[in-house]
Each structure stands twice: as C-alpha cells, then as structure tokens.
Amino acid sequence: MNEFELIRRHFTRATPQAVLGVGDDAAIIQVAPGCALHVSVDMLVQGRHFFADVDPVSLGHKALAVNLSDMAAMGAAPRWALLALALPQVDEAWAAGFARGFFDLAARFGVELVGGDTTCGPLTLSVTIMGEAPQGMALRRSGAQPGDDIWVSGRLGEAALALACRLGRVKDVPQDVLDECLLRLERPEPRVGLGLALRTVAHAALDVSDGLMGDLEHILAASGVGGEIELEALPTHPWLAARRGEHAALIAAGGDDYELCFTAPASAREALAGIAAQCDVALSRIGRIKAGSGTCLLDKDGRAFPLDKKGYDHFA
C-alpha cells in the first residue's frame, strides 16, 4: 500500500461542514456568520507522550482528545481537524485502529477531518483543531479577578498515577485502580460541553495538560493575579485521596489530566452546580484568586505544601 492508498482508505471521510475536505492542496472552511475561528495544534511523540506499545485505537483517540481539550478550554465548538502523521512503515492494522479511535471520537463531537500530511519517519502525530465561537465569547487565560473561586472539573492525578506505575515509580496499586487510571491516561475525555457552558460564567480558563499548579500559573500570569489551592480540596481517585500527602505531586502537578481549570465569581456557584449536573461532570472548588502573583498549594492546616515541580516541562 502506498501513501495515497493509505490516505484514501483510512483517512478520507465525508466532510459536509467544510467547503472542501481531503484531496486538494488545501481544505476550504467557512465559519458561521458572527463566529470567530479558533485554531490550536498539539503534537504527540513516541516515547515522550506515549509508549511504543500503546494500542492504536487509544492513540487515535488521544491525539484528537488533547486537541478537543484546547477547544473546550476556549469555550469553542470544535468543527474541523488536520492530521499530520509520520509513520515508520505502512501497517494496515495499525492505521485502521488509529483511524477508528480518531473518527469515533470525532463523530461524538461533530468534528470533520479536512486534511493532513503523511510522511515516513519516527512515529509522530500532530493534530490541528479548528473550532468556532461567537465573536468576543471565547474563554481566555486572562480575566481572573481577586476574589474569584478557582474550580477544576473531573478528577486529577489518575493519568499520572498510571504513568508512574508504568515507570515503576509507584508500586502496590490495586489492579482495578490501575485499570481505571490507565483509561484516564490513554482515553482522556475532553470537556467540550463544559467549555461551552462556561462561556458566560467563567472569568478565565485553561485545560490541565502539564499539571494543575504549573498550568494555573499561566492563568495567574495572564491575569496579573495570584492564587492559592487547597490540597485537601483537589478531586482525585479515592485510592489517591487516601494517600493525599504521599502522592500530592501526582495530584497537583502530575499532568495528562485534560480537565478544565477555571475561575468564576462566588456569585456563580449556583449556576455552576447546574452546569455540573447538565454536563454530567463533577466540578470542585479548589482555591481562590488573590491580588499579587504566583501560586501556593496549602495543606489542611493552611501551611504551604512544598512541591519539587509544578508541572511537566519538556526541557526541564
């Protein structure tokens, strides 16, 4: 099978939301009147973002999910994607599995693959995601205000626990806990519906990919404020919650969570309870925005909890 057969067989699907999809030198898209185009790209590299033996269906899912998560963080509705692939060889079963993981998730969120690029090389995946939101409605990292509550969706630290087990850094995790956490590492659920619902409620938002404390610093820096987080308030797996002090680094700075962290005024608490129910996702109030700068993680006695690292850094 050559390059073009691979593209035709596995990566060419109908694209009714696009003016022109796969097959020409560029795709043509048209956003809805009154909407702005939102664009983001994320890359996944073997050995850095995933293990060589991960199943291709999971990889197809995750490559798109981490990008959908960026649209969610902006409060944008995802619509179109581009897929750039470097593959060491043509492996039909692998390509079919990858395409299944990718397109199953794409279908759930109404996203169309409108183009991409395929080359031979060390396994690397890059998805560009495009979405739309009414002009002026996007959620940004700037906008957090002193007095805001800090919130996070879902549970933190589960993917990081699975990774730590795989790397032999944490032992004695029961198999059922590990299975649940592996699913979180390999098949993150992008919080797209939540992002849309937060447009009119949140002051600032981002998705947690590198680790909560590190990512929160981006909101604080962009907004010119400080913030504190309560370790005891961080939502996590019951197994981790029972070992909160020991595994604080996984929970507060582990990464690969793909949850939304956002700030909102206290007056929004009731609305947020409704949004949590409507989106079927837990929302936890984990801290507050203050005047000043920088983050602080507090233990249950209100003392600073030391962390070696606040999040994942590719070059640290």
Ligand X SMILES: Cc1ncc(C[n+]2csc(CCOP(=O)(O)OP(=O)(O)O)c2C)c(N)n1
Classify strands 124-134 and 204-208 as parallel, antiparallel or unpaired.
unpaired
Give the 3-state secondary structure of residue 232: helix
Residue 42 or 149: which CB sits closer to Mg ion?
42
Q: How far apart are CA 178 and CA 257, in angstroms?
A: 15
149 is known to lie in a ligand binding site: no
Binding mask 42-81 for Mg ion (x = CB under 5 A): x---------------------------------------
Is 209 among the residues that bind ligand X (CB under 6 A)?
yes
312 is known to lie in a ligand binding site: yes
Q: How far apart are CA 213 and CA 312, in angstroms?
A: 10
| Pair of tokens at residue 240 | 């981790």
Q: How far apart are CA 254 and CA 124, in angstroms?
A: 23
Classify strands 35-45 and 124-134 as parallel, antiparallel or unpaired.
antiparallel
Residue 70 or 149: which CB sits closer to ligand ADP?
70
| Pair of tokens at residue 315 | 């070059």
Interface with ligand ADP (CB under 6 A), residue from 58, 126, 209, 223: 209
Is 228 among the residues that bind ligand X (CB under 6 A)?
no
For residue 160, count other CB atoms closer than 10 A to its CB: 28
Classify strands 204-208 and 77-87 as parallel, antiparallel or unpaired.
unpaired
25 is known to lie in a ligand binding site: yes
What part of residues 37-76 is at the interface with ligand X (CB under 6 A)?
42, 47-51, 66
CB 73, min distance to Mg ion, A: 11
256 is known to lie in a ligand binding site: yes
Interface with ligand X (CB under 6 A), residue from 115, 157, 190, 255: 255
Strand order in the sheet with 124-134: 35-45, 124-134, 77-87, 112-120
Is 126 among the residues that bind ligand ADP (CB under 6 A)?
no
Q: How far apart are CA 181 and CA 118, in angstroms?
A: 32
Q: What is the DSSP letter of 44?
A: E
Q: How far apart are CA 300 and CA 294, in angstroms?
A: 20
Binding part of the chain for Mg ion, among 21-29, 36-44, 57-65, 268-276 by CB under 5 A, reads 36-44
**Contact set with ligand ADP (CB under 6 A):** 42, 70, 209
**Binding region for substrate:** 49, 256, 312
Name the site residues for ligand X (rule: CB under 6 A).
Answer: 42, 47-51, 66, 163, 209-210, 255-256, 312
> Which residues are at the interface with Mg ion (CB under 5 A)?
42
Binding-site residue numbers are 25, 40, 42, 49, 70, 116-117, 141, 207, 209-210, 256, 312
Q: Which residues are annotated as a binding site for Mg(2+)?
A: 25, 40, 42, 70, 117, 207, 210
